[in-house]
Structure 1
């Protein structure tokens, strides 16, 4: 376990995650603004989950955190740590049936707390397809600054798309954190 929030656990992937991972990543609505095309066959999901399980969250490159709700995989957070180990890019995916309940915000907030307070990263960045308004609202709600728009920047699934750019600095995160009441600690297991 890397992070525990009020309702969620951010942990390493396990082989038991392959089926739910394949299920939500095969959903066309979930994949719409993501880099993969559905469906995700179970064999490919098994290979991917195995690769995720072997990753190192403190090494440069991508690491995928499993988002767990009461023992059930409901999504994942991807973090690409830069070579300098002080900056990272963030991505997130949540199964459709768990969207709209605050789980994505809670998971990202939990990871940010870990990254900025425990690991002392300097900056976390995120990009969103400009049509993905829910993702943009989530980033702004949890404190990211909208830093820019790259028009017709990405050839994505057969069309040019606009990219929204977001960033959050550790100093800004800590200042906001100090101005609000402390979170309720997660119950110990």
Structure 2
């Protein structure tokens, strides 16, 4: 029984780890978060349950306003069922190079690290479902493909167990269609 519990604990904690973003430090083009999101960016995405079923698709229009070491991202979501929502991120780059962020539906502080073409962004989202709000842990990975395109894959889970994934493709409007 002790070995079974130890194995379960190891499996749960292993679910919380992943690659180190610094392994991408030599990958190009290098991601400058504030420069990429300056202006208007469109994103198209979907949410999949852990079994792979797509349960929601959406389009996001993001207006980014950079400041001195800060970045405000105003995200306007439109879902395939006709509903909509808004999230406003207020991000600040710390002296340690890490990005820290807050939004109304994020518990506490989000933490992000950029290396090369990659950003790893971790936070707890307060997700309302049928009148109940769930605290869902997000492990978000963004990869800059070129100056105009970025791909995002986020794992969503609770208690170290993945419940689903969010996939997005970003395209800067300044680049044209």
- Shorter-chain TM range is 0.3 to 0.5
Going by fraction, where is strand more abundant, 1 or 2?
Answer: 2
- The TM-score normalised by the length of structure 1 is 0.32
Going by fraction, where is helix more abundant, 1 or 2?
Answer: 1
Larger radius of gyration: 2
